[in-house]
């Protein structure tokens, strides 16, 4: 079976399929984030019922806790966390390079101190591949250097050279072809560097490519500029993954430009703070204005939270610090994102993207 | 349909049924505690799947937040919290009388300050009935004075007089006969006062009686003494409810003496701290010794947590402060308690109580 196939195109937007050992993923796809081998508060069953087809986990976090040895002993990450569907693991590059004071980069890799106990560790591109081989994720990411924002043209240029060199080593070290190893495009805000990064990364012929370095302190304008620039230059016959991005407006924007895959902590993070998506936009269900609102969060939604409880009840749960509140809002927001992606997919298949997008934003206020 | 019926007796232990507007409850029964209109982290669906037949909620807490008006507007507590089965509401006496510095008792009732914002409130026996009428619980409790422990014979004696007087007023005020109002036995550690409390409370002919004042700072010995004393004196044809008690060993002890109903926060509270029940006793699954334990919490258990996850995974969740850990241990402990009660019920029905109890404790270590 082919790993990737474009099923339908409408202008630049595409509906595609990705086939993995743990199942098929239809794109465009939103991937809930399960950093520490759990999408916060959700069970695998909850995710399945929401229509989630693939989730994310994080190499850096899992390497530190519980440690690769235990996951290996368990028989891989799928078994460890009880999720039998596809998993994408981030390389941990983003996390390691966020440890500003705690890391040192060389051409061999990066030495860093654990954010938990300060213990010293070393990630090389090869080691990160080996860890992900043990995790057994279906899609793996190469270790890339994630430069800070802002950074100079010179700095980013050197960084790209290093990331390309690391990508070569990663590819050479990766032996398990049941796991697809994706390359990552960097280049910051510099058009020429994004182009060079793509040109050189594509020469390495990865089964998929991610647009990286777009959620590091950059505003929406910069994210969208990177998408505008990268998406058209990436190969048609490979999946395109926009890392760390995924509010409703971002999805509509980037899918239209030809992006296929998204992950974002935002929908689940706001949920834990009482923020929920509705067809009219995001609302803070914990606010006093919903104290007597006997309707569901979203009357068009079929999730358990919306079918069972009122805004007033969920607001009460937040008000009295009951965790069930977060559990219900998280569940709802994941449903919302999956359902939104289905709507977007349908708009592509029906060659009706612009009209559907307009219809969505006629009620949804950012 | 009769409210209460004894179906089978083995010595003093009984299997009975309680019929309510929201369904039938078989006793002996363990009632998970949903103080603030939620059994912490659980959905009504989780509870249903665990075999939970009746839950508790608390008048004091719900009166303060979200307030009786909102629950009335929603159409009652069942609708508000999405639980369609029977609900028992505690009167709030225990909570109000725990507010040592913040309350003042008179013959009319008790003035107290909210533990949340210090606002002043007044509970009379009649008001507490009226609140519970609005909540619409299936079983209501009278407002009783819960004396501190220890307290003198004189103090408790006066307290019993007041509680009896309040019980009379409660009964007179209670008009909705779809809701069963239970009396509460007090008397502290004083045999003669327990006896008097029962004698006078039973004269009022409530549809059920609770043994109160046994979980206020008293040790197991004192709990068991109150059970020994009260259970035989309570009417055969009415349910007997031991308030706030319910570890596995307590259930075996008190059911044997003729107690039918139990509620206890202990199983769910320890769960949130990583304490789980197993056939061998309680273990702290967050402990390092379970780091590589690939077996389930309890291999004899059919709950989702035990069917899906290893101790090692759940230990990891606690270790990295992921709420899913608490969610899974809570689910398991509720399953454990419901299943234990089913085992106890079967032992009664098969007239085999002592042997089954011995078998249970041959593996289960306290």
What are the chain B neighbours of A326 within 8 Å (beta carbons)? 323
When pLDDT is averaged across residues B184-209 and rounded to a whole number, the result is 97
**Quick check: B216 pLDDT over 70?**
no
What is the structure's pLDDT at A218?
A: 61
For residue A90, give every residue at least 6 positions away whose Cβ sits within 8 Å of its Cβ, in sequence order, or none: A56, A57, A58, A59, A60, A141, A243
What is the structure's pLDDT at B219?
A: 81
What are the chain B neighbours of A74 within 8 Å (beta carbons)? 294, 310, 312-313
* Per-residue model confidence as pLDDT tens for chain A (366 residues): 899 999 999 999 999 999 999 999 999 999 999 999 999 999 999 999 999 999 999 999 999 999 999 999 999 999 999 999 999 999 988 888 888 777 899 999 999 999 999 999 999 999 999 999 999 999 999 999 988 888 999 999 999 999 999 999 999 999 998 999 999 999 998 999 999 999 999 999 999 999 998 875 668 888 999 999 999 999 999 999 999 999 999 999 999 999 999 999 999 999 999 999 999 999 999 999 999 999 999 999 999 999 999 999 999 999 999 999 999 999 999 999 999 999 999 999 999 999 999 999 999 999
For residue B38, give how far its alpha carbon lies from the nearest alpha carbon of chain A (Å).
8
User: Which of B89, B22, B27, B84 has the alpha carbon at shortest distance from B57?
Assistant: B89
**Quick check: B83 pLDDT over 80?**
yes
Interface of B with A (CB under 8 A): 36-38, 40-45, 61, 65-66, 70, 73-74, 80-82, 291-292, 294, 304, 308-310, 312-313, 316-317, 319-320, 322-324, 326-328
Nearest to B304 among A43, A324, A326 (CB): A43
CA separation for the pair B290, A115 (Å, rounded): 24
Q: A327 and B41 in contact by Cβ < 8 A?
A: yes
Nearest to A323 among B40, B313, B319 (CB): B40
Interface-testing mutation among B72, B320, B332, with chain A (most A C-beta atoms within 10 A): B320
Q: Which two tokens stand for residue B117?
A: 């914002």
For residue A277, give every residue at least 6 positions away whose Cβ sits within 8 Å of its Cβ, in sequence order, or none: A248, A267, A298, A332, A333, A336, A337
Domains annotated on chain B, with CATH: 30-264 (3.20.20.105), 273-363 (no CATH)
Strand partners, B277: B282
Active site residue A205: no
- How high is the ipTM of this complex? 0.97
Please classify residue A114 by burial: count the beta carbons closer than 10 Å to its beta carbon, then call 0-12 exposed, 13-18 middle and 19+ buried: middle
Nearest to A80 among B73, B74, B313 (CB): B313
Provide the number of CB pairs (under 8 Å) joining chain A to chain B.
106
Q: Specify the residue for token string 């004083």.
A: B190
Buried b (16+ CB within 10 A) or exposed e, A22-41: beebbbbbbbbbbbbbbbbb
Across chain A, which distance is largest between two alpha carbons, in Å?
Answer: 61
For residue A3, give every residue at least 6 positions away whose Cβ sits within 8 Å of its Cβ, in sequence order, or none: A18, A19, A20, A180, A207
What is the structure's pLDDT at A326?
A: 98
Give the single-character DSSP code of B159. Answer: H
When pLDDT is averaged across residues B356-361 and rounded to a whole number, the result is 98
pLDDT digits (tens, 9 = 90+) for B340-349: 999 999 999 9
pLDDT digits (tens, 9 = 90+) for B230-275: 999 999 999 999 999 999 999 999 999 999 999 999 999 999 999 9
Count, residues in chain B = 366
CA A36 to chain centre: 14
**Quick check: B213 pLDDT over 90?**
no
What is the structure's pLDDT at B332?
A: 98
DSSP H or E segment with residue B89: strand B87-90
């Amino acid at each position: 079976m082919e790993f990737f196939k474009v099923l339908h195109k409408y202008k630049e937007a595409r509906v595609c399929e990705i086939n993995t050992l743990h199942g098929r993923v239809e794109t465009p796809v939103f991937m809930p984030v399960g950093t520490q081998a759990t999408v916060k508060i959700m069970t695998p069953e909850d995710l399945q019922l929401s229509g989630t087809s693939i989730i994310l986990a994080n190499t850096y976090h899992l390497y530190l806790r519980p440690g690769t040895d235990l996951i290996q002993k368990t028989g891989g990450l799928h078994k460890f966390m009880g999720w039998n569907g596809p998993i994408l693991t981030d390389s941990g590059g983003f996390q390691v390079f966020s440890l500003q004071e705690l890391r040192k980069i060389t051409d061999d890799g990066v030495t860093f101190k654990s954010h938990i106990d300060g213990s010293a560790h070393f990630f090389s591109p090869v080691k990160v591949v080996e860890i992900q081989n043990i995790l057994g994720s279906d899609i793996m990411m190469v270790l890339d250097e994630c430069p800070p924002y802002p950074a100079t043209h010179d700095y980013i240029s050197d960084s790209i050279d290093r990331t390309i060199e690391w990508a070569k080593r990663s590819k050479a070290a990766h032996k398990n072809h049941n796991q697809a190893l994706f390359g990552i495009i960097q280049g910051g805000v510099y058009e020429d560097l994004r182009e060079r990064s793509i040109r050189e990364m594509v020469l390495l012929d990865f089964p998929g490519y991610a647009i990286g370095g777009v959620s590091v302190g950059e505003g929406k304008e910069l994210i969208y500029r990177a998408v505008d620039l990268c998406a058209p230059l990436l190969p048609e016959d490979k999946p395109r993954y926009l890392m760390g991005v995924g509010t409703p407006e971002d999805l509509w924007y980037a899918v239209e430009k030809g992006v296929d895959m998204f992950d974002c902590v935002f929908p689940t993070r706001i949920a834990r703070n009482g923020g929920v998506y509705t067809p009219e936009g995001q609302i803070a269900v914990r606010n006093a204005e919903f104290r007597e609102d006997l309707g569901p969060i979203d009357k068009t939604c079929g999730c358990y939270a919306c079918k069972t409880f009122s805004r007033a009840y969920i607001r009460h749960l937040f008000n009295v610090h009951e965790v069930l509140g977060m559990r219900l809002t998280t569940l709802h927001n994941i449903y919302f994102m999956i359902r939104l992606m289905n709507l977007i997919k349908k708009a592509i298949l029906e060659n009706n993207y612009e009209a559907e997008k307009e219809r969505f934003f006629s009620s949804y206020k950012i």
